[in-house]
């Protein structure tokens, strides 16, 4: 039997992350499975108030035997880039945006590290304080986050993949940022792609992909799911619930 747990985009909400892990723990008790891995689909930071605490929680790792996997999302990458050099711009951002823009959420992430008034200071000044306040362990954790995790019949990645491109040739840019070209593809990708990045109002199974981002960044739910022998289930306080189904190639 293949069983993998997965959690959607967290965006600085430690309470929601802890609640998702509690749902997984309850499912483990029902199944007697202490070993199935838990995959976090990225976007640990930004928009929510506890990005530093979320990284602390995930970097500490599990208390039991099961493996935790944490993937790199585009927001995690933007934070990592800022800590290198605020002048570096990722092409996935709109020209009018930076990581510090209100719509992106970098200011809230810096505030979680105790950095005062990040919206009213020069980037170079912020960088000096951020490099001092963001623990080296956090910086190393961000830098080491993988882009993918594979299990039999499944590929976990933050945003998706470029249809028709072999996995070994996929670009990090696509795996952290892609939307439309991936969502509208009805192709068989060789594995069901489990992803987040684009909020939907309920976790959805499209046949060739599964979207678990349910908008925690915007005050909505953080989804915990389990995929068992290829069948996905949402985890709830009442137990497992089948995912909503839509045809492959349907836009989010």
Scored b (16 or more CB within 10 A) or e, 6-26 reads bbbbbbbbbebbeebbebbee
pLDDT, tens only, 97-144: 999 999 999 999 999 999 988 878 888 889 999 999 999 999 999 999
| 250: in domain | no
**What is the helix (H) or strand (E) element at residue 225, kind and residue range?**
strand 224-228
Q: What is the mean pLDDT of the chain?
A: 96
pTM value is 0.97
Q: What is the mean pLDDT of residues 9-19?
A: 98
* Residue at 93 is within a domain: yes
pLDDT band of 246, cuts 50, 70, 90: very high
Number of domains in the chain: 1
Residue 48 C-beta-side C-alpha neighbours within 13 Å: 27
pLDDT at res. 122:
84
141 in any annotated domain: yes
Mean pLDDT of 219-245: 98
Within a domain: 222:
yes
pLDDT band at 159 (very low <50, low <70, confident <90, very high): very high
Instruction: List pLDDT tens digits, range 186-231.
Output: 999 999 999 999 999 999 999 999 999 999 999 999 999 999 999 9
Percentage of the chain surpassing pLDDT 70?
100
Residue 132: domain span: 3-243
Whether 125 is covered by a domain: the verdict is yes
Question: Could you tell me the CA-to-CA distances from 189 to 86, 140, 163, 179, 250 in Å, in that order?
Answer: 36, 32, 7, 15, 15
pLDDT reported for residue 64? 76
What are the tens digits of pLDDT across the range 29-54? Answer: 999 999 999 999 999 999 999 999 99
Residue 42: CATH number of its domain: 3.60.21.10
Whether the pLDDT of residue 184 is over 90: the answer is yes
The β-bridge partners of 6 are 39, 225
pLDDT of 63 over the 90 cut: no
Question: Which pLDDT value is given to residue 119?
Answer: 78
- Indicate the pLDDT class of residue 165, thresholds 50, 70 and 90: very high
pLDDT number for residue 37: 97
């Amino acid at each position: 039997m293949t069983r993998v747990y997965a959690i959607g985009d967290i965006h600085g909400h430690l309470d929601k992350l802890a609640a998702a892990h509690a749902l997984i723990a309850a499912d483990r008790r029902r199944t007697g499975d202490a070993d199935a891995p838990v995959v976090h689909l990225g976007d640990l930071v930004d928009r929510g108030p506890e990005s530093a605490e979320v990284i602390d929680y995930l970097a500490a790792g599990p208390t039991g035997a099961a493996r935790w996997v944490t993937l790199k999302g585009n927001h995690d990458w933007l934070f990592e880039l800022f800590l290198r050099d605020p002048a570096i711009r990722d092409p996935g951002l709109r020209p009018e945006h930076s990581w510090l823009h209100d719509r992106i959420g970098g200011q809230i992430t810096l505030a979680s590290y105790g950095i005062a008034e990040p919206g009213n200071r020069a980037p170079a000044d912020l960088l000096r304080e951020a490099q001092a306040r963001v623990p080296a362990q956090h910086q190393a954790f961000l830098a080491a986050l993988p882009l993918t995790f594979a299990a039999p019949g499944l590929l976990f990645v933050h945003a998706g993949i470029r249809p028709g491109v072999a996995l070994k040739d996929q670009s990090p840019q696509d795996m952290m940022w892609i939307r439309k070209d991936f969502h509208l593809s009805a192709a068989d990708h060789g594995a069901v792609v489990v992803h987040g990045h684009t909020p939907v109002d309920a976790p959805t199974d499209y046949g060739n992909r599964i979207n678990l981002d349910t908008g925690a960044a915007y005050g909505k739910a953080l989804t915990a799911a389990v995929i068992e022998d290829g069948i996905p289930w949402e985890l709830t306080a009442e137990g497992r619930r089948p995912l909503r189904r839509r045809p492959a190639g349907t836009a989010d």
